[in-house]
Amino acid sequence: MRIVVLDGHTLNPGDNPWDDLARLGELAVYDRTPLAQVVERADGAEIVLTNKTVIDGAAIAQLPALRLIAVLATGYNVVDIAAARAHGIKVSNVPEYGSADVAQHTLALLLELCHRVGDHTRAVAEGAWSRAPDFSFWLTPPRSLEGQTIGIVGYGRIGRQVAHLARALGMRVLASSRLARPSGGEPPDGWRTIPDLFAESDVISLHCPLTDDNAQFVNAALLARVRPGALLINAARGGLIDEPALAAALTEGRLAGAALDVLSREPPPPDHPLLHAPNCVITPHIAWASLAARRRLMAASVNNIRAFLAGKPVNVVNP
């Protein structure tokens, strides 16, 4: 059984060994794989693991031995699901391993927008407090969240965890869900359509998957609906946002701030419109990356492969 990992560095940069996976077959691990080398490296493999390396229909057609593509993530838009199904290849994902971590990072992004801890720390280090005539100064006044409304787009595991944390800050929770209103966990204070949610919320936080139907749904028309002083958080997928439209909304002051852990292209080009937009906080897709979460992801991925080898596949996204 030949097993190939196409892009293993982010999951295991040296602190999260592949030992359990290696026990399941002949293992080859590549830190990174360019699209042009996917077929060459996966040739002859029955199981291929990928995180963000794209496995498109052209590659799938050239890999006759392939039986399982195991995605080292929850989102699986990097795989041509229709092509995999047509070739009888199962695709698995890991639906739950870091919900609490992503929710925690979402809260960190929100609090950074409200308190600008990084900017104030740099200002103090540069001597601004030492030069100040008063005991207290601020670059921008802190923003209180108590009594404000957060609108959550996507009320699954992560969205519900964000709601839980927001309530601890005294916030009111609205939610929108593309599927039937999910059960489990505390319900929101109200369900809204996406346009109404954008219009009524002081903070909007995205926690939905990226699909063909919702790509760039956060566009200029939707951003025009937000109330003055609104904030936007995205720890889901960069492709959900029309990024030039968001940059324009920030530049024109129609949106008070945005905090993003994801962009449509990662890493972004130096001229990406959001890298220099005002009041925009960007972190490099790290919400998922605590060691504890990566260990859970590794264990769950190995379990997916064990189950597949035993003839009882789990977490299959293209049954």
What is residue 185's predicted lDDT score, i.e. its pLDDT? 75
Return the CATH number at 40: 3.40.50.720
**Any domain includes 317:** no
Residues 195 and 225: beta-carbon distance below 8 Å: yes
pLDDT of the residue at 90:
98
140 shares its domain with 25 = no
The CA distances from residue 82 to 56, 106, 218, 285, 313, in Å, are 10, 32, 26, 27, 18
Query: Averaged in consecutive runs of 10 residues, what is the pLDDT profile of the chain (319 residues)?
Result: 97 98 98 97 98 97 98 94 97 95 98 97 97 96 97 96 98 88 80 97 96 95 97 97 98 97 96 97 97 98 98 96
The residue type at 222:
L
Q: Are residues 103 and 92 in the same domain?
A: no
Active site residues: 237, 266, 285
How many helices (H) and strands (E) the chain has is answered by 12, 12
Look up the domain containing 233 and give its range.
99-282
Same domain, yes or no: 72 and 213: no
Q: Is there a single domain that holds both residue 124 and residue 269?
A: yes
Domain count for the chain, please give it.
Answer: 2
